[in-house]
Amino acid sequence: MPNYLQSWFILLLWFVSHVAGQDPASLIGLVPDCAQPCLVKGLENGNCTLTAISECMCTNITVQAEVSECVQLSCSFKDQAGSPPRCRTKYASDIRSSHEHNKQVKAAAIACAAVAFPIVILRCVARLMVTKRLWWDDWTALVATVFLVALLVLQTQSAELGFGLHFWNVDVANAKPIFQIFYVTQILYILIQVSAKASLLAFYSRVFTSRGFRIAVWSAAAFLVGHGIIFLGLVIFQCTPISSIWNRSLENKCLNLTAIGYAGGVFSIVEDIVIFIMPIPELWKLQLGGRKKAALLFMFSIGSFACVTSMVRLKYLVSFASTLDATWDNVYVVIWSMIELSCALICASLPALRPLIQMLPGVLSTARGSSVKHTTDTSRHHVNTHPSIAVRTDHPQRTKGEMSNYGKMGDAYLDIDPSSRGGSYELQTVASERRMV
C-alpha cells in the first residue's frame, strides 16, 4: 500500500476507534485488506478534513454509499462482516431518516392488514347471509388473504431486522435473513396477485352467464394463470444457485430481475384494465334506473384503483435489482406492492358486499326496474332482466307470506322483498345464480 494511503488508513483507524471506543491496534485485524482501499478512497472523495473525519464519515451519505458499494464489490460476503463498525451511537440523530423509512414499512403493513382483512371477512359474512355457503370466488379470495397475511408478517419482520435502513447501517448478521425474506415475498406477491384477480373473474363468471362473456372471462383467466406461472418460475429461479440470492459469497448467474419486474408490472396493469372494463357492457344492458346503474358501475369501477397503484409501483422499479443499497432503495417498491395487493383483494371483495351495503338507508337500494313479479292469482311470471343474466323463473307458485328457496340460494346480488300489495312478491336482482337447486 502506498505511504499516503497508509497515512490515511492510520487516521481512519483513529476515527473507527473514536466511534467504536476501541484501541486502534486491536482494530487492524478487524478491517479486511479488501476494505482498506474503499475506506481510503471514500475519505478522499468526501474531502474529509483531518479535524472532522468522524463527522464526515458518519454524516455524509454520499461517502457512506460509496464506501458501502466499494466494499460489497471488492469483498466477499463473509469479509464484509469485518468492515468498520457502523456509526450508530454518537451520530444516531444523523441516520434518523433511515429509521423513519424503517417505520414506514411497518406502518404500511399494519394499515393494509387493518383495511383489507375486515373487508374480506365482511365479504364472507355477506355471502353466508344470502347463500348459506361460500363459492369458488370466495375461497380464492381467502387463499389470497392467507398469502397476504404471510407477506405482511414477513415484511414487518424484515423491517425489524433492518429493512428500511441504508445497507451500511444494517447488521451484517441480519443481511442474510433480510434477503431471504425479500425473495419469499417476491413469490408471495405473484401468488396473491393471481389469486385476487382470479377471485374477481370467478365472480364475473357466476354473475354474468352469457356465452360470449363467459368465453371472455375464461380467456382472461387463462392469460392470468399463464402469466402467473411464467413469472413465478422466473422469480423462483432468478439466480443459479438459488442460495446465492441471500449468500453473496457464492458465484452466481442471475436474470435481469429489473426487466422481469417491469414486464410483470406492465402485464399486471393490462390485466387490471381488462378486468375493469369487462363487466361494464353487461351492467349497462341491465334495465335499471340511471341512478342505480351509475351506483353499480361505480362499485365495479373501484377496481381501477388497483390499476393506479400498479402504475405507481412501476415507478419505483428503476433500481429494483441493480442497487447495492437494497434495504433502502427498495422500500417504496415493497410499500406500494403491499398497497397494490391489498387494493386488488379489496376490489375483488367489494361487489360481494352489496347485501350489507343495502342495509344502509338510501345506499344502493334495490332496483325496481329489474324484477320478476309473482302473484297468487296467476302462474305467469314477468322477467325484466337482460338475457345475459340467468334468472330461474320455474319456481312453484307461492301464496302470500311464503318465501321460496330461490331467495335462499341466490348469490350476493340477490334479495327478495315481500310486498304487501295484492299478495305479490317482487324479485329484485342485479344477477342471480346460474343454477338454483
Q: Which residues contact 179 (CB under 8 A, 6 or more apart)?
A: 245, 246, 326
The three cell numbers locating residue 48: 474529509
Give 44's pLDDT tier (boundaries 50, 70, 90).
low
The full DSSP string for 336-392 is: HHHHHHHHHHHHHHGGGGHHHHTTSTTSSPPPSSSEEEE-TT----EE-S-TTS---
Give 192's pLDDT tier (boundaries 50, 70, 90).
very high
Q: Which residues contact 33 (CB under 8 A, 6 or more apart)?
A: none
pLDDT exceeds cutoff 50 at 426: no
| Mean predicted lDDT score pLDDT of the chain | 72
Q: Looking at this protein, which amino acid is placed at residue 98?
A: S
* Least confident segment among 154-158, 203-207, 251-255, 294-298: 294-298
> Long-range contacts made by residues 393-397, C-beta under 8 angstroms, separation at least 24?
395/436
Neighbours of 360 (CB within 10 A): 9
Q: Which residue has the higher pLDDT, 289 or 154?
A: 154
Q: Which residue has the higher pLDDT, 197 or 404?
A: 197
Query: Residue 178: which of 238, 248, 111 has the closest Cα?
Result: 248
Q: Which residue has the higher pLDDT, 236 or 74?
A: 236
- Provide the pLDDT for residue 221: 94
- Provide the pLDDT for residue 232: 96
The full DSSP string for 256-273 is: -HHHHHHHHHHHHHHHHH
What is the per-residue burial (b if ≥16 Cβ within 10 Å, else e) of 90-109? ebeeebeebeebbebbbebb
- Provide the pLDDT for residue 319: 64
Q: What is the mean pLDDT of residues 262-277?
A: 89
Per-residue model confidence as pLDDT tens digits over 91-112 = 444 444 555 688 899 999 999 9
- Provide the pLDDT for residue 359: 74
pLDDT exceeds cutoff 90 at 278: no
Residue with cell 451520530: 91
- Provide the pLDDT for residue 114: 96
Contact between residue 341 and residue 196 where contact means Cβ atoms under 8 Å apart: yes
Question: Averaging pLDDT over each range in 87-96, 126-135, 145-154, 382-391, which range is the top one?
Answer: 145-154
Q: What percent of the chain has pLDDT over 70?
A: 56
pLDDT exceeds cutoff 90 at 399: no
Give 335's pLDDT tier (boundaries 50, 70, 90).
very high
371 bridge partner residues: 428
Contact between residue 286 and residue 370 where contact means Cβ atoms under 8 Å apart: yes
Query: Residue 347: which of 288, 275, 283, 269 has the closest Cα?
Result: 275
Q: Which residues contact 207 (CB under 8 A, 6 or more apart)?
A: 279, 389, 411, 413, 430, 431
Q: Which residue has the higher pLDDT, 200 or 284?
A: 200
Distance CA(229)–CA(191), nearest Å, equals 9
- Provide the pLDDT for residue 184: 97
**Quick one: CATH architecture of 97-357?**
Up-down Bundle (1.20)
pLDDT exceeds cutoff 70 at 145: yes
- Provide the pLDDT for residue 235: 95
- Phi and psi at residue 390, to the nearest 5°: -80, 120
426 bridge partner residues: 373, 417
- Provide the pLDDT for residue 87: 55
pLDDT exceeds cutoff 90 at 422: no
Contact between residue 123 and residue 138 where contact means Cβ atoms under 8 Å apart: yes
Query: Residue 364: which of 295, 280, 412, 312 has the closest Cα?
Result: 295
- Sheet with 382-383, strands from edge to edge, namely 382-383, 371-374, 425-429, 414-418
Q: Which residue has the higher pLDDT, 33 or 309?
A: 309
pTM over 0.85: no
Q: What is the mean pLDDT of residues 156-170?
A: 88
CA 22 to centroid of chain Cα atoms: 45
Start-to-end CA distance of the chain, whole Å, equals 86
- Provide the pLDDT for residue 393: 32
- Provide the pLDDT for residue 310: 86
Contact between residue 371 and residue 288 where contact means Cβ atoms under 8 Å apart: no
Neighbours of 222 (CB within 10 A): 10
Per-residue model confidence as pLDDT tens digits over 23-39 = 444 444 445 667 667 66
Q: Which residue has the higher pLDDT, 260 or 68?
A: 260
- Provide the pLDDT for residue 80: 60
Segments making up each domain of the chain, as ranges: 3-90, 97-357, 371-429
Contact between residue 134 and residue 128 where contact means Cβ atoms under 8 Å apart: yes
Neighbours of 424 (CB within 10 A): 15
- Provide the pLDDT for residue 42: 67
- Provide the pLDDT for residue 102: 85
